[in-house]
Amino acid sequence: MARKIAVASQKGGVGKTTTAVNLSASLAVAEKNTLLVDLDPQACASVALDFNQDLLYRGVYEIFMRNFPASGSIHETEIPNLYVIPNNIWSNNAEDEIMRTSLNRTMLARSVEELDDDYEYIIMDSPPSMGHLMVSALVAADSVLIPVQAEFYSYHAFDQFIRLVKTVRLSVNPDLEIEGFLLTMYDERTKLAHEVESDLRRRFGRLVFKTVIPRSVALAEAPASGKPAITFDGRSAGAQAYMRLAGEIVRRRRSRVKSRV
């Protein structure tokens, strides 16, 4: 059965899409059959894997608006074991339609549930806002991975998001877990980064991944090539960090203990 993980944060610019793309690619390289679902209307995850929004005829739009089965919207990538349901919302009008449709917050959950036996991991990249598409991802997920940028504003903004996770758990998805908090854009030279890490680990203990994602040129440059970091520059610090994160997630799944806050 697939482990369905929503990568989510209400704040933009914290490495959410970078994490969704590179974690998915790293799991695939580790020979885990993985599906990435791009729920962000900006389609950055799709672009990062070299999918051109304007040329796509199957994707998230068809699932929400045309009742297509999720299996009919899956695309292969150049990486073995990595598949994508890209975002192909072409206009603001289409986005508005999907927002209205996603008020039915179990639609996505039903769609991805049919893929349970086909993948080991389903990673969902959600929009950087606490709207209906993000809630749909949390309803469909087994767990949520929360990127936390090692800077003041990002760290102090995510308490509101945790309240949303608790609300979804109480109202519609009682089994929703915290997969973990992931420190991103970490600059070990700064005192603030160490202070944020120390406080996060003090508050949430084992829910904070041991892996931290450093600031990395390869992570910044890889999307322009249409490749994840592991195939763009596999020896880079960023690519290696996401391989370690994939390893942590696989090990956690083997010895799963329900993780809540």
- Global pTM value: 0.92
Report the distance separating Cα 89 and Cα 182, nearest Å: 29
Q: What percent of the chain has pLDDT over 70?
A: 89
Phi, psi at 248, each rounded to 5°: -60, -45
92 has a pLDDT exceeding 90: no
DSSP string, the chain: --EEEEE--SSSSSSHHHHHHHHHHHHHHTT--EEEEE--TT-HHHHHTT--GGG-SSSHHHHHHS---GGGG-EE-SSTTEEEE-----SHHHHHHHHHHTTSTTHHHHHHHTTTTT-SEEEEEPPSSSSHHHHHHHHH-SEEEEEEESSHHHHHHHHHHHHHHHHHHHHT-TT-EEEEEEEESB-TTSHHHHHHHHHHHHHHGGGB-S--PBP-HHHHHHHHHTS-HHHH-TTSHHHHHHHHHHHHHHHHHHT------
> CA–CA distance from 211 to each of 37, 79, 157 (Å)?
23, 23, 21
Please list, residue by residue across 24-39, b when 16 or more beta carbons sit within 10 angstroms of its beta carbon and e when fewer do.
bbbbbbbebbbbbbbb
Q: Which two tokens stand for residue 51?
A: 């999918």
Confidence band of 103 (pLDDT split at 50, 70, 90) = low
When mean pLDDT is compared across 14-28, 160-174, 236-250, the lowest value belongs to 160-174
**pLDDT for 112-153, tens place per residue?**
999 999 999 999 999 888 788 889 999 999 999 999 988 766
Q: Which has the closest alpha carbon to 10: 186, 155, 150, 107?
A: 155
pLDDT band at 174 (very low <50, low <70, confident <90, very high): very high
Across the beta sheet with 143-149, what order do the strands follow? 75-76, 82-85, 34-38, 121-125, 3-7, 143-149, 177-184
pLDDT tens string 215-247: 999 999 999 999 999 999 999 999 999 999 999
Task: Extract the tokens encoding 59.
Answer: 């994707």
pLDDT computed for residue 44 by the predictor: 92
End-to-end CA distance of the chain: 25
**Contact predicate 38/6, CB 8 Å:** no
Domain ranges of the chain: 3-254
Q: Quote the pLDDT of residue 95.
A: 59
Decide if domain 3-254 falls under CATH 3.40.50.300. Answer: yes
